[in-house]
Chains A and B, each alone.
Chain A
Amino acid sequence: MKLLIKKGRVIDPKNEIDEHLDILIEKGKVLEVRKSIKENGARIIDAEGKIVSPALVDMHTHIREPGREDEETILTGSRSATKGGFGSITVMPNTQPPIDNQGVAEFIYSEARKVDLVNLYPVGAITKGLGGKELSEIGALAKSGVVAISDDGMPVMNSHIMRRVLEYSKMYGIVVISHCEDLELSAKGVMNEGYISTVLGFKGMPNESESIMVSRDIHLARLTGARLHIAHVSTRESINLIREAKEENLNITAETCPHYFTLSDEAVLNFDTNTKVKPPLRTKDDIQAIKEALKDGTIDAISTDHAPHTEAEKDVEYDLAPFGIIGLETALGISYMELVKTGFLSLIGLIRKMSYIPAMILNLHNKGHLSVGADADILIFNPAVNWEVKKDILESKSKNTPFLGWTLPAKPLDLIVGGRVIMKEGKITRNERNY
Chain B
Amino acid sequence: MAEWNRKDLLGLKELSREEILFILDTAESFREVSTRPIKKVPALRGKTVVNFFFEPSTRTRASFELAAKRLSADIVNISVNSSSMVKGETLKDTARNIEAMKVDIIVMRHSSSGAPHMLAKAVKSSVINAGDGSHEHPTQALLDIFTIREKKGRLEGLNVSIIGDIAHSRVARSNIWGLNKLGANVTVCGPTTLMPQEVEKLGVRVTNKLKEAIEEADVLNILRVQLERQSENLFPSIREYTNEFGIDSEKLKYAKKDILIMHPGPINRGIELTPDVADGPYSVILDQVTNGIAVRMAVLYLVSGRPESDETSD
Q: Tell whether A and B belong to one assembly.
A: yes
CB-based contact B197/A204 at 8 Å: yes
Residue A201 contacts which of B90, B170, B198, B201 (CB distance < 8 angstroms)? B170
CB-based contact A271/B197 at 8 Å: no
- A200 with B113: in contact, given A315-B90, A316-B90, A317-B118 (CB under 8 Å)? yes
Q: Report A-chain residues with C-beta under 8 Å of the C-beta of B112.
A: 317-320
Least CB distance from A202 to B in Å reads 5
Least CB distance from A235 to B in Å reads 14
Residue A198 contacts which of B115, B118, B133, B196 (CB distance < 8 angstroms)? B196
Tell me the A302-320 residues at the B interface (CB within 8 Å).
312, 315-320
Least CB distance from A34 to B in Å reads 57
Interface residue? A199 (CB, 8 A): yes
A206's nearest neighbour on chain B, judged by CB, is B197
CB-based contact B173/A199 at 8 Å: yes
In the assembled complex, the Cα of A320 lies from the Cα of B134 at a distance in Å of 15
B169's nearest neighbour on chain A, judged by CB, is A201
Q: Report B-chain residues with C-beta under 8 Å of the C-beta of A271.
A: 113-114, 117-118
Count class of interface residues, chain A: 20 to 34
- A198 with B91: in contact, given A271-B114, A271-B118, A319-B113 (CB under 8 Å)? no
In the assembled complex, the Cα of A202 lies from the Cα of B115 at a distance in Å of 12
Q: Report B-chain residues with C-beta under 8 Å of the C-beta of A317.
A: 91, 110, 112, 114-115, 118
CB-based contact A201/B91 at 8 Å: no
Least CB distance from B194 to A in Å reads 12
Least CB distance from A218 to B in Å reads 26
Interface residue? A195 (CB, 8 A): yes
In the assembled complex, the Cα of A200 lies from the Cα of B201 at a distance in Å of 13
Interface residue? A194 (CB, 8 A): yes
Tell me the B185-240 residues at the A interface (CB within 8 Å).
196-199, 201-202
- A201 with B135: in contact, given A194-B197, A315-B92, A316-B91 (CB under 8 Å)? yes
CB-based contact A197/B196 at 8 Å: yes
In the assembled complex, the Cα of A318 lies from the Cα of B117 at a distance in Å of 11
Tell me the B103-136 residues at the A interface (CB within 8 Å).
110-115, 117-118, 132-136
Q: Report A-chain residues with C-beta under 8 Å of the C-beta of B115.
A: 317-318
In the assembled complex, the Cα of A193 lies from the Cα of B91 at a distance in Å of 26
B119's nearest neighbour on chain A, judged by CB, is A317
Interface residue? B253 (CB, 8 A): no
Residue B201 contacts which of A195, A319, A320 (CB distance < 8 angstroms)? A195
Specify which of A197, A200, A270, A316 lies most central, judged by the most chain B CB atoms within 10 Å of its CB.
Answer: A200
Least CB distance from B87 to A in Å reads 15
CB-based contact A318/B196 at 8 Å: no
Tell me the A36-73 residues at the B interface (CB within 8 Å).
none
In the assembled complex, the Cα of A432 lies from the Cα of B92 at a distance in Å of 45
Interface residue? B45 (CB, 8 A): no
In the assembled complex, the Cα of A195 lies from the Cα of B202 at a distance in Å of 8
Q: How many residue pairs at the A-B interface have CB separations less than 8 Å?
A: 62
Q: How many residues of B contact A (CB 8 A)?
A: 26
CB-based contact A319/B90 at 8 Å: no
Interface residue? B269 (CB, 8 A): no
Interface residue? B13 (CB, 8 A): yes
Specify which of B117, B133, B196, B202 lies most central, judged by the most chain A CB atoms within 10 Å of its CB.
Answer: B196
Encode contact with B along A175-213: 1 for CB under 8 Å, 0 otherwise: 000000000000000000111011111101010000000
Q: Report A-chain residues with C-beta under 8 Å of the C-beta of B201.
A: 195, 198
Q: Report A-chain residues with C-beta under 8 Å of the C-beta of B113.
A: 200-202, 271, 318-319
CB-based contact B198/A198 at 8 Å: yes
Least CB distance from A70 to B in Å reads 16
In the assembled complex, the Cα of A199 lies from the Cα of B201 at a distance in Å of 10
Encode contact with A along B67-91: 1 for CB under 8 Å, 0 otherwise: 0000000000000000000000011
In the assembled complex, the Cα of A271 lies from the Cα of B112 at a distance in Å of 11
CB-based contact B90/A199 at 8 Å: no
Least CB distance from A66 to B in Å reads 25
In the assembled complex, the Cα of A193 lies from the Cα of B111 at a distance in Å of 19
In the assembled complex, the Cα of A198 lies from the Cα of B173 at a distance in Å of 9
CB-based contact B135/A200 at 8 Å: yes
Q: Report A-chain residues with C-beta under 8 Å of the C-beta of B111.
A: 319
A187's nearest neighbour on chain B, judged by CB, is B232
Least CB distance from B67 to A in Å reads 25
Specify which of A195, A197, A201, A316 lies most central, judged by the most chain B CB atoms within 10 Å of its CB.
Answer: A201
Q: Report A-chain residues with C-beta under 8 Å of the C-beta of B133.
A: 201-202, 319
CB-based contact B91/A202 at 8 Å: no
Q: Report B-chain residues with C-beta under 8 Å of the C-beta of A194.
A: 197-198
CB-based contact A201/B118 at 8 Å: no
Least CB distance from B120 to A in Å reads 10
In the assembled complex, the Cα of A318 lies from the Cα of B121 at a distance in Å of 14
A188's nearest neighbour on chain B, judged by CB, is B232
Least CB distance from A137 to B in Å reads 39
Encode contact with A along B246-290: 1 for CB under 8 Å, 0 otherwise: 000000000000000000000000000000000000000000000
Least CB distance from A124 to B in Å reads 35
Least CB distance from A429 to B in Å reads 39
Least CB distance from A399 to B in Å reads 16
Least CB distance from B218 to A in Å reads 25
In the assembled complex, the Cα of A319 lies from the Cα of B91 at a distance in Å of 13
Least CB distance from B197 to A in Å reads 5
Given contacts A193-B197, A316-B92, 5 further A-B contacts (CB under 8 A): A198-B196, A200-B113, A317-B112, A317-B114, A319-B113
Q: Report A's interface with B, CB cutoff 8 A.
A: 193-195, 197-202, 204, 206, 270-271, 312, 315-320
Can you pick out 11 interface pairs between chain A and chain B where the beta carbons lie within 8 Å of each other? Answer: A197-B196, A197-B197, A198-B197, A198-B198, A199-B202, A201-B136, A201-B173, A202-B135, A270-B117, A315-B92, A317-B118
Sorted nearest first, the 4 A-B pairs with minimum C-beta distance are A201-B134, A271-B114, A317-B112, A201-B135
